[in-house]
Amino acid sequence: MFDEDPKSVYKWEKGVSRTWDSVQEDEAGNLITTTDDRERSFRAKQNRITKSIRRGLIRYLVIAIDSSKSSSDTDYKPCRLEVSKACVKQFIGEYYDQNPISQLGVIATRDRTCDRVTELSGNPKNHIHMIKDIKNMSGLASLQNTMLLGMSMLRHIPNYGHREMLIVFSSLSTCDPGDIFASIKEAKAQKVRISVICLVAEVFICRQIAELTGGTFAVALDATHLSELLLTHTIPPPEVQRNESLVTDFIYMGFPKRTFDSHTAFGFEGKKMKLSANAYICPRCSTRTT
């Protein structure tokens, strides 16, 4: 059974407060409120790390973008989808800077389905290039199909990897083929942590997905706030506490050497071959990558 009672009390459910008492006037004669500073400092204290936390350094993250009909709305300029794409592209660059040995994949939901945009890889240029091609905004979004596709991409990740999903959701509803709560249970069983950022308003099922899988939930106020919320996910999240013995494994790792050849040769760029004079050589299998 799932607990449907929210853990926090919404502002409109609280008693009447004398909000006019917090209004002050600055030197220029503009009205300011002291509550803004209090809330900002409170959020900063919440995000501050005050103790030692075990975090996973090898992350496998699937980021989902809502490209349904609702993403064409223009409350975000020029539209919700374009703002989401711009913020996600900025996030991808920062993600690889903070997590150089992690991987990322991109999917998009529309027309009650979810499509794979890029595979899990460590190539930020490919992700950014493919995100530009997400242009069709039609139909309804499906959170369940998004979760199922994300879990299928993360299913074969080794035990030392941390499975994560991040959904940028522009809709107020989801059209699913089955029981979404069964999919939430499956995600929890597969240790997939799902976080959701809504662009419009809080959606109950989005909060449930995040809370029941150990992820985070937030609502963006504007494009700048959306970018800030995405960048908080560049830091590896704390490991989920489970009733299992703690096991730490050594991982064999090598650092490729960069070569500059006088002639061009084929090398891998993701799963595709590309001619290039510059390449990185794997110290173990001598594979060329661009």
**According to the model, what pLDDT value does residue 1 have?**
45
Instruction: State the Cα–Cα distance between residues 117 and 120, nearest whole angstrom.
Output: 10
pLDDT tens by residue, 64-87? 999 999 999 999 999 999 999 999
Bridge partner list, 272: 269
pLDDT exceeds 70 at position 145: yes
User: Mean pLDDT, to the nearest integer, of 138-166?
Assistant: 94
pLDDT tens by residue, 199-257? 999 999 999 999 999 999 999 999 999 999 999 999 888 776 555 665 666 667 777 88
**According to the model, what pLDDT value does residue 289 have?**
86
User: Domains, the chain, ranges and CATH?
Assistant: 59-234 (3.40.50.410), 257-289 (no CATH)
**According to the model, what pLDDT value does residue 20 have?**
62
Instruction: State the Cα–Cα distance between residues 248 and 58, nearest whole angstrom.
Output: 13
Question: How many of the other CB atoms lie within 10 Å of CB of 194?
Answer: 29
**φ, ψ of residue 11 in degrees (nearest 5):** -65, -35
**φ, ψ of residue 60 in degrees (nearest 5):** -125, 105
Q: Alpha-carbon dihedral of residues 194, 197, 203, 209, nearest 10 degrees?
A: 10
